Amino acid sequence: MDDPADTHCPSAGPSVRACAAVAMLAIATAGACRGGDRDALLHIVQDQCLPHWRAQQDPAPCTRVMGRDFALLKDRKGGAHYLLIATATVRGIEDPVLTDAEAPNYFGAAWQARDRLEAVMGMPIADDAVGLAVNSAIARGQDQLHIHIECLGQRMRRLLQTDADRIGERWAPLPGSTEPFLARRIPGRSLDGVNPFQLLAREVPGARRHMGDYTLVLAAVGFKDGPGFVLLTGRTASGAAALLPAHGGLVPPGETLLDSTCEAARTQVQLPSSPPEEPPPSSQPPPSLMPKSGPPRSGFGSGGG
C-alpha cells in the first residue's frame, strides 16, 4: 500500500488549499501508523546488511557496506535516491556523537557514493547537480542517522548557480532565496576533514542546544575562485506543519530541496522525462518492508505541493 505521506498537491489552482489540508491529515495519520517502525533503517542495516556482508561479502538489501561506519541503501521511493546510513546506532542530527572530533565523516562518505545516481539515470551527472540532505529530528520518518543522496531540485540548483559567489565562509541568509535558509561556503574539491554537523553546532548561535530542530543540505558549487560546496541550514516545522509554506523563520525539510527524478540534470542534456529504474538486487525485501524515510517534497523538489 502506498504511504499516505506521498499525497501530492497541484502547484496552482483552487484545489491547492484543500489538497494541502488532506496532505497534512495524511502525514499526521502516517506518523501515527508508523510509530513502531521508526527504527526500520536501523534494523535493515544492523540485522541484514552487516551480517550478510560479514558472512558472504554480500551487502543485500543494501547496495554497499563502506568500511565500518557506513551502509548505502536505495530508497524505496524510487528514482535516483540513496541513503547513506550509519552502521552504529546514531539517532540523527541531534545525536551528540556527530560533533565529536573523532566522528566518522558521514557527509564525506555520502558524497563519495554519488556515483550511484549516474547508475540509475544512465547518464553522467555533474557534481553541482547533486545534493545531500539530513532532515531535522522533528520532520523525519526514521530515527537512525541517514543522509539523502539525490539530485538538487531545479530551482535550488539554479539559485546556487546564480548567487553562489555572494555566499561567504560565515553563516548568512541565502541570497536570492524566498526561504530563510542560512548558507555557508566550504572551499575545496573534497569534504576531507569537514564535519557539517560541527559547523552547525559551533557557528550558528543556539544550534548546539537545539540540533534536532535543524536540517542540513550540502551541494557542490563552482565559485569564481575555485570549486567548493555550499552548506544550508535552518530550523524546520514539525510533522504536518512541514508541508506549509515557510513562516516564522522556519524552512522546509532539507530533503524537499532534492529531486530523485534529476529533472535539472536531464534538462541540461535533453534526455526523456522518465528516468530508468535501477533493478533491485534479488535479495532486496519487498517494497512493503522497506521504509520511506522522509517527508513529501516541497516546491524546491520534485513532488510539488
Residue 265 contacts by C-beta under 8 Å, 6 or more apart in sequence?
A: 121, 123, 125, 126, 129, 151
What average pLDDT does the chain have? 81
Predicted TM-score of the model (pTM): 0.79
Contact 109, 69 (CB under 8 A): yes
- Tell me: the pLDDT tens digits for 180-213? 999 999 999 999 999 999 999 999 999 999 999 9
On the question of pLDDT at 30 being above 90, the answer is: no
Burial class (CB in 10 A: 0-12, 13-18, 19+), 34: middle
Task: Check residue 188 and give left, alpha or beta (phi > 0: left; psi -120 to 50: alpha).
Answer: left
Share of the chain above pLDDT 90, in %: 69
Share of the chain above pLDDT 70, in %: 72
- Tell me: the pLDDT tens digits for 45-102? 999 999 999 999 999 999 999 999 999 999 998 999 999 999 999 999 999 999 999 9
| C-alpha to C-alpha distance for 291 and 302, rounded to whole angstroms | 19
Residue 80 contacts by C-beta under 8 Å, 6 or more apart in sequence?
A: 116, 117, 120, 121, 125, 150, 151, 260, 261, 262, 275
Containing 167, the helix (H) or strand (E) segment is none
Residue 105 contacts by C-beta under 8 Å, 6 or more apart in sequence?
A: 191, 192, 193, 194, 195
Angle, CA of 294, 300 and 302, to the nearest 5°: 65
Nearest partner of 200 among 182, 225, 173, 178, judged by Cα: 182
